[in-house]
Amino acid sequence: MTTKLQNTLPLAVLILIGLFIFTIGIRVNYTNIDEAYFVDPVINLLTGHGYTTTSWNITRQSETHVSTAPFYSCLLMVWLKIFGISQTAVRSLSAALVLSGAFVFWRACARAGLVKSGAAGAVLISVLVLDYGYAYSYSVGRPDALSALCVAALFYCFTLPNQRIALGVMGGMAVVLPFVQWGCVIYVGFLSVALLVLLGRKALLYVMVIGFGLAAGLLVQKTAYTHFNIWNTWMNTIKAERSERIANWIGNRLGLDLLINRHSNTIPKDFSALVVLAGMALIYIRSKFCRQPRGAQLAKAAWVIAGVVTLGMYLVGKFPTYYGWMLSLPLAAILASYCDLARQTGRIETVLVSLVVVLACGVGLPMQAALAARDWSERQPGSITAWLGPKISKDDVVYCDYPFYYIAKERSRVVFTGHYLKKMSDEDFTNLTVVIIGSHGSDWSQSERALNNKLVVGRWQPERVGWLGNDWQYGILSAPNYDCTVYRLKGRND
């Protein structure tokens, strides 16, 4: 009976949050750059145009694309084959993956003894899934939820009773991580460093096995990509993320200019993680004052992991807000573990951890949905699709900004999107018949290309904008909306 009660509450919370995500969460945000980046080559492959893309600036439309998350792309291909090609289907895959990852991680924490009660399990699932940065990533169809699922599965394997089997499975999983997501490999590396700091020899054997697995996976990746003649393309993709040598890169990261003026894609602004870490600081002080070593130990672990992962990702790679899952996983487990401890310790501890949980969850997906409520009808694609759709014919060659990707992709012959503007040849530009330029955050505004013989065929201006505007001033809380001007180029498809 006790076990049944321990499982019922977390499952109920998972189902309720899942319903919220599928009905509201995946409808909060406009189409963004990464969503179009990952789905475009998959759609092209499913429609018989090969695994190519015209939404990114690494490969041309005649060249084979190389995804930075190939397993996610393969999974997305199967998913869209079954459920059809649509934005809802794309985002539903990420929603299904995040719920699966939360379930696996909860069971892993329960098996490891970190979570003992149903209340703690519910806390773990809520803090993990509703995290601000993580919620944004899966609500716009990014592959982060698959990475989080794989990391959760690694932890679950760690709890297997037979150590040899656990090590073997963990090593095998580490081999495939380079094909899951490049950022996931870097994250697992720094997370392993943090665990070595905290656990010492207890974690050494597992970290070594995972390290050897990652090395083997990178070797397999190089061999496979070389065999299929896409290694140079892959290296160009990596270089697009970081052009300098590692020493120069780290040196630049230590400068104040990056921290102050160019931090949008390098320093996370995850409000949920900030709340948890602030709460853990209070818990540490309270535990020291009341001589509760276990509470202080958990709080210290939270700060060590957050510090190592954040600093490591910032110095070597990047740490944008949508990588919030990297902190949400360990912080949710630690906070849930303290929840069990607080219930046994005292009323003040219980109130403290409850406030932290409520705030951490509240400033995540619920806050994003609340901010979207003001212009909710403007965020839904129905109205803009009905207005813009008839202006595009099946013979058109379109350039558009990312918010209009799905509308143009479904109706035109070819769509060039966003960053691909830098890759467009003169012939591509000459063949354009329709151009859709957003009023905020447009790639075209940064281009030297000029539109001659253009005819304005429509101007869409939403009745409302978001509470914080629509020009990226406040990051993902004020993403560009469907405000746009549509041009038809005279003499090209009259």
361/130 Cα distance (integer angstroms): 5
Strand pairing report for 454-460 and 414-417: unpaired
Residue 356 near residue 275, CB atoms below 8 Å: yes
Determine the pLDDT at residue 59: 84
Both 405 and 272 in a single domain? no
208/212 Cα distance (integer angstroms): 6
Both 145 and 233 in a single domain? yes
> Is 37 within a domain?
no
> Is 494 within a domain?
no
The candidate with the shortest Cα–Cα distance to 144, out of 187, 202, 195, 203, is 187
The candidate with the shortest Cα–Cα distance to 385, out of 35, 30, 21, 54, is 30
Determine the pLDDT at residue 223: 94
Give the domain extent around 106.
Answer: 2-30+66-372
Of 372, 393, 412, the domain-final residue: 372
Both 168 and 208 in a single domain? yes
Position 344 confidence tier, pLDDT thresholds 50, 70, 90:
confident
What are the respective helix, strand and coil percentages of the chain, to the nearest 5?
70, 5, 25
Q: What does the pLDDT look like over 361-407, one tens digit per residue?
A: 999 999 999 999 999 998 999 999 999 999 999 999 999 999 999 99
Both 205 and 224 in a single domain? yes
Evaluate if residue 339 carries a pLDDT over 80. Answer: yes
Q: Where are the beta strands (DSSP E) in 445-490?
A: 454-460, 484-489
- How crowded is residue 429: how many other Cβ atoms within 10 Å of its Cβ? 15
Please give the average per-residue pLDDT across 278-283, as a whole number.
95
Both 92 and 212 in a single domain? yes
Position 290 confidence tier, pLDDT thresholds 50, 70, 90:
confident
Residue 405 near residue 55, CB atoms below 8 Å: yes
Evaluate if residue 326 carries a pLDDT over 90. Answer: yes
> Is 42 within a domain?
no
Position 46 confidence tier, pLDDT thresholds 50, 70, 90:
very high
Both 400 and 292 in a single domain? no
Of 355, 372, 389, the domain-final residue: 372
Determine the pLDDT at residue 491: 60
Both 274 and 306 in a single domain? yes
Residue 158 near residue 53, CB atoms below 8 Å: no
> Is 414 within a domain?
yes
Both 290 and 397 in a single domain? no
Q: What does the pLDDT look like over 53-68, one tens digit per residue?
A: 999 888 888 888 998 8
Of 372, 406, 436, the domain-final residue: 372
Please give the average per-residue pLDDT across 136-152, as a whole number.
95
Kindly state the DSSP code that residue 319 receives in the 8-state scheme.
-
Both 359 and 385 in a single domain? no
Could you tell me where the DSSP H helices lie in 242-270?
246-253, 256-261
What is the percent of the chain with per-residue pLDDT over 90, rounded to a whole number?
66
State the average pLDDT for the chain.
89
The continuous run of DSSP H or E covering 436 comes out as strand 434-438
- The number of C-alpha atoms within 13 Å of 373 and in the hemisphere containing its C-beta is 7
Evaluate if residue 247 carries a pLDDT over 50. Answer: no
Full-model pTM: 0.92
Position 1 confidence tier, pLDDT thresholds 50, 70, 90:
very low
Q: Tokens representing 353? A: 């951890």
Determine the pLDDT at residue 347: 84
Both 147 and 194 in a single domain? yes
What is the percent of the chain with per-residue pLDDT over 70, rounded to a whole number?
91
Position 243 confidence tier, pLDDT thresholds 50, 70, 90:
very low
The distance from CA 440 to its chain's CA centroid, rounded to whole angstroms, is 22
Both 208 and 351 in a single domain? yes
> Is 54 within a domain?
no
What are the angstrom distances between the C-alpha of 397 and each of 58, 85, 414, 493?
20, 20, 5, 9
> Is 52 within a domain?
no
Total domain count for the chain? 2
> Is 466 within a domain?
yes
Both 398 and 310 in a single domain? no
> Is 43 within a domain?
no
Position 455 confidence tier, pLDDT thresholds 50, 70, 90:
confident
